[in-house]
Structure 1
Amino acid sequence: MLESLSSKVHDEGRQGEAYAPVVADGREFRKKFYIESYGCQMNFSDSEIVASILNDNGFGATGNYAEADLVLLNTCSIREKAEQTVRNRLQVFQQVKDNRPGMLIGVLGCMAERLKEKFLEEEKLVDIVVGPDAYRTLPGLVAEAETGQKAVNVLLSRDETYADISPVRLDSNGVTAFVSIMRGCNNMCSFCVVPFTRGRERSRDAISIVRECTDLFNKGFKEVTLLGQNVDSYYWLDETNGRAVTFAHLLEMVALVDPSLRVRFSTSHPKDITDEVLQTMARYENICRYIHLPVQSGSTRVLQLMNRTYTREWYQAKVQRILSVLPDCGLSTDIIAGFCSETEEDHQDTLSLMEYARYDMSYMFFYSERPGTLAARRYKDDVPEEVKKRRLEEIVRLQNRLSLEKNKEDIGKIFTVLIEGDSKKSAADWRGRNSQNKVVVFPKGDAGLQKGDYVQVRIDGCTGATLIGRPVI
């Protein structure tokens, strides 16, 4: 999935050789930066940290890369397609730069860590390369690049969490926000590059997390999503009292900021989500009844090759436990089709597990070998691409059926919906989400509702992706 992220700030254009200042939050900026983010929500969150650092060093955001002094791509290495998309965008930016002497182009994030030499030496498309743990050094790297030197910092850190940096909310709807609670990953799934590009797990201190969530609520935000590669392994020791703060404790602390502040989280590793987390979710109404629980494969044999550390039967038991504690909990997942040596029997196991879990939604991909991963070193990528695509099509087709069935079950129910803005199809309708993370669309009418309001909505119909209803006033 590719999404673009940039701040929409009014620009006065050029006056002679100098840009008119960008004005944002009462501050003037003589230079402009443009940033696009690719991949997971952690990258989007990181871009907001980068924006804050740049603001503090004289750069204001613009939504037009053709007028930017600094163009940045925050990149993802999870799939080959994402990497090719980034290369294509860099070529577009390079064409603009050919007519804009002084423009700098930089690559941030996971691709920066993995492909630094290739970008700098072979493709010569960038001036700056910055890894996920080195964003504090970006102003110095920009200054270095302004002298004509290539500027690089991709060093990984064991303690960087950016806890003291207040993110600049780019393209914010003013209602929902992401809050990073930890960085890195220790799980070493054989298909994944994250441990190599983002380093080992380290948790941000709980005090700064609660402070950020409180600040967001005071500014009018009504929902926060706590982000981490594996939020359930969050652990922070409060040295002032010797108390260990687990993810369950952190969830409770954020829920207590205010009952009208919704709390979500992503992503959970099945092996780490605990009963204590589930019980905390059940105890607080403002913790949303939704868990993203990546399965990757329904075959125990393939799961072992993936180093997922659980079996098919264990995962099924975890699903049952979640639904026993939270009967109304929405479930989504990640699925990879065509992993190394996957057979038709393995594929059928995945389909049958999907039927068992009855996911509301899935992120579905076919396997893309990533250089440097354990799978690339240990296993042969031996499933033909046409077989991968056919299996993925079957997975998508099944998920579409399950999503429609699950949505039909909601017809006649009443949900509390947080209004996030206009419907994408009609300004006469509101769009929001319920606790289970399902999109709900309903007519505005004359009820005087506005973005950020909670409203009770009765569901009258649905599509496979959307619930359609009317407000119950």
Structure 2
Amino acid sequence: MFETAVRKEIDENRQGEALIIEKEGRKPAAGRLLYIESYGCQMNFSDSEIVASIMMDMGFTTTGNYKEADVIFINTCSIRENAEQRVRNRLKEFGASKLRKPGMVIGVLGCMAERLKAKFLEEEQLVDVVVGPDAYRDLPNLIGRLDEGEKAVNVLLSREETYADVAPVRLGGNGVSAFVSIMRGCDNMCSFCVVPFTRGRERSRDPHSIRREVEGLLENGYREVTLLGQNVDSYKWASETGAEAMNFAGLLEYVAEVSPLMRVRFSTSHPKDMSDEVLEVMSRHENICKYIHLPVQSGNSAVLDRMNRTYDRAWYMNRVEAIRRIIPGCAVSTDIICGFCSETEEEHQDTLSMMDHVKYDFAYMFKYSERPGTLAARKYEDNVPEEVKSRRLKEVIEKQQQHSRLRMEQQLGKVQKVLVEGPSKKSDQDLCGRNDQNAMVVFPREEGIRPGDYVHVLAERCTNATLIGKLVQ
């Protein structure tokens, strides 16, 4: 899951400093091991790479074994209750290691840290530091306070922080694909969502720093980037003088022009902001993948209104029709919430009919989970019985399985351009990679083919999630 960085040697000057620190009863940063575990969205994984970079500047190296770590960070998600419970269970495991290794530091990062703040130190006695998503630059100070025997909290949100100048340390990747954060925060106030409270207001990163990061990845052998934001379509940047300005369509083209060898993906789009201009840029550039994640959440306009999604069923269908018209063959995935406050059976049926209309390639599907502090928690009663939520979710999952299979079968007999990622999970005799539509493709290994290569594969058979085929010229 995580890469083990090459351990840096302490030079002679720092060795003298290290001895002094050890005599004072504190272990020096140089040579200390850091373990980071991430949960939730892609943005959390991207943030962990920023944290690793900051910590490595302090002399830490990363490890894939938490039991040998001096500092353990768990980067958390608050989007659903079960996500938070998984974190609490994992903290108990880390705590057992801490009891066996005095001096080990356990820290909670990210959205759950921001939501609970200092309360976390009271609830989880073995937690030493709590750091919100905008406070990672303060880690050197916070670690210093921990070394002096204090516990530390910094959950201040920022209107400016984008970490544009921090070069992420790529953790646990395949050396082919990487995340590039283009913006932080969210100005949408969906009634079910904690993100505006845990990640703050929306701000966009300087496009030139984004392009430089992509160029650096290309030079280091990467062949695919995913541009990340809570709502990439609302990306909007202007220079201080106002002489330069760029929206998401402009940024997408700016990044795509780095190299035809560099594939570009993005996530996540918001239906209210998905413009024809973005779709037209995608259609013009072969290296921008023909795949869009477009969360619908519900197929019923009244439910969408209670969710404060700021679009209705007709608007969403219009955006899907625009995708189909401007980018034929584009794959579309989505998010669906079952059993939102006061959802009726008729409203649930509208979600199923939306699924039939779009026939999504893939979907993330959940039961509604009330989150403290959100508008829905304050304004609406979570009154759909749990057994009804479960039954509706089962119906949604079954329908999506049908549609996923259909979309895979539609690609059979066609030649897929595949970016090779590495060995298949099931067999070292096979390689795998993703096609333009984000479908996993598995094919027999051949001599000379390496991760990062583009190959052509004739899709011969499939599962609900994977195409299986053979190499062709």
Which amino acid letter does the alignment assign opposite residue 7 of structure 1?
E
Are residues 1:85 and 2:81 paired? no
C-alpha distance in structure 2 between counterparts of 1:260 and 1:64, whole Å? 35
Are residues 1:105 and 2:106 paired? yes
Quickly say closer, same or farther: Cα 1:380–1:78, change in 2 above 3 A: same
**1:17-32 maps to which residues of 2 (within 5 A)?**
29-32=30-33
C-alpha distance in structure 2 between counterparts of 1:125 and 1:378, whole Å? 35
Q: Secondary structure at the match of 2:333?
A: strand
Contact 1:11 1:62 in 2 (8 A): no
CA offset digits 1:412-470 (Å, max 9, x no partner) = 11111000011110111111001110111111134x21111001111111110001111
Aligned to 1:450: 450
Aligned to 1:467: 467
**1:152-301 maps to which residues of 2 (within 5 A)?**
152-239=153-240, 242-301=243-302
Deviation of 1:10 after TM superposition, in Å, equals 6.7
Unaligned 5+ runs, structure 2: 9-17, 20-28
Deviation of 1:99 after TM superposition, in Å, equals 1.6
C-alpha distance in structure 1 between counterparts of 2:182 and 2:6, whole Å? 32
Aligned to 2:40: 39
Contact 1:10 1:62 in 2 (8 A): no
Deviation of 1:314 after TM superposition, in Å, equals 1.2
C-alpha distance in structure 1 between counterparts of 2:441 and 2:30, whole Å? 39
Aligned to 1:405: 406
Deviation of 1:123 after TM superposition, in Å, equals 2.7
Aligned to 2:11: none
Aligned to 1:6: 2
Aligned to 1:22: none
Deviation of 1:148 after TM superposition, in Å, equals 1.9
Q: TM-score, normalised by structure 1?
A: 0.94
Are residues 1:148 and 2:149 paired? yes
C-alpha distance in structure 1 between counterparts of 2:243 and 2:132, whole Å? 33
C-alpha distance in structure 2 between counterparts of 1:469 and 1:348, whole Å? 37
C-alpha distance in structure 1 between counterparts of 2:434 and 2:173, whole Å? 16
C-alpha distance in structure 2 between counterparts of 1:358 and 1:38, whole Å? 28
Q: Secondary structure at the match of 2:162?
A: coil
CA offset digits 1:339-362 (Å, max 9, x no partner) = 000011111000000010110000
Contact 1:9 1:63 in 2 (8 A): no
C-alpha distance in structure 1 between counterparts of 2:74 and 2:2, whole Å? 10
C-alpha distance in structure 2 between counterparts of 1:243 and 1:94, whole Å? 50
Aligned to 2:24: none
C-alpha distance in structure 2 between counterparts of 1:399 and 1:291, whole Å? 17
Are residues 1:336 and 2:332 paired? no
Contact 2:2 2:171 in 1 (8 A): yes
Q: Secondary structure at the match of 2:457?
A: strand
Q: Secondary structure at the match of 2:51?
A: helix
Deviation of 1:29 after TM superposition, in Å, equals 4.0
CA offset digits 1:283-315 (Å, max 9, x no partner) = 100000000000000011100000001111111
Deviation of 1:145 after TM superposition, in Å, equals 1.3
Deviation of 1:117 after TM superposition, in Å, equals 3.0
C-alpha distance in structure 2 between counterparts of 1:228 and 1:196, whole Å? 16
Q: Secondary structure at the match of 1:249?
A: helix
Which amino acid letter does the alignment assign opposite residue 49 of structure 1?
I
Deviation of 1:100 after TM superposition, in Å, equals 1.0
C-alpha distance in structure 1 between counterparts of 2:203 and 2:189, whole Å? 15
Deviation of 1:196 after TM superposition, in Å, equals 0.1
Contact 2:7 2:61 in 1 (8 A): no
C-alpha distance in structure 2 between counterparts of 1:10 and 1:161, whole Å? 27
Q: TM-score, normalised by structure 2?
A: 0.94
Are residues 1:352 and 2:348 paired? no
Aligned to 1:120: 121
Which amino acid letter does the alignment assign opposite residue 148 of structure 1?
G
Are residues 1:304 and 2:302 paired? no
Deviation of 1:122 after TM superposition, in Å, equals 2.9
Deviation of 1:118 after TM superposition, in Å, equals 2.8
Which amino acid letter does the alignment assign opposite residue 377 of structure 2?
A
Are residues 1:325 and 2:326 paired? yes
C-alpha distance in structure 1 between counterparts of 2:124 and 2:206, whole Å? 40
CA offset digits 1:313-354 (Å, max 9, x no partner) = 111111001110001100000000000000111110000000
Contact 2:7 2:31 in 1 (8 A): no
Deviation of 1:243 after TM superposition, in Å, equals 2.3
Aligned to 1:424: 425
C-alpha distance in structure 1 between counterparts of 2:424 and 2:35, whole Å? 27
Contact 2:118 2:130 in 1 (8 A): no
Which amino acid letter does the alignment assign opposite residue 405 of structure 1?
L
Deviation of 1:394 after TM superposition, in Å, equals 0.5
Contact 2:256 2:288 in 1 (8 A): yes
Deviation of 1:238 after TM superposition, in Å, equals 2.9
C-alpha distance in structure 2 between counterparts of 1:239 and 1:309, whole Å? 31
Contact 1:33 1:71 in 2 (8 A): yes
C-alpha distance in structure 2 between counterparts of 1:340 and 1:180, whole Å? 33
C-alpha distance in structure 1 between counterparts of 2:232 and 2:446, whole Å? 40
Q: Secondary structure at the match of 1:363?
A: strand
Which amino acid letter does the alignment assign opposite residue 50 of structure 1?
V
C-alpha distance in structure 1 between counterparts of 2:198 and 2:379, whole Å? 19
C-alpha distance in structure 2 between counterparts of 1:147 and 1:383, whole Å? 50
Deviation of 1:242 after TM superposition, in Å, equals 1.1
C-alpha distance in structure 2 between counterparts of 1:445 and 1:136, whole Å? 45
C-alpha distance in structure 1 between counterparts of 2:463 and 2:117, whole Å? 44
Which amino acid letter does the alignment assign opposite residue 4 of structure 2?
K
C-alpha distance in structure 1 between counterparts of 2:32 and 2:124, whole Å? 27
CA RMSD of aligned residues (A): 1.5
Deviation of 1:239 after TM superposition, in Å, equals 4.0
CA offset digits 1:386-406 (Å, max 9, x no partner) = 111110011000000000011
Contact 1:37 1:43 in 2 (8 A): yes
Q: Secondary structure at the match of 2:118?
A: helix
Deviation of 1:276 after TM superposition, in Å, equals 0.8
Which amino acid letter does the alignment assign opposite residue 456 of structure 1?
H
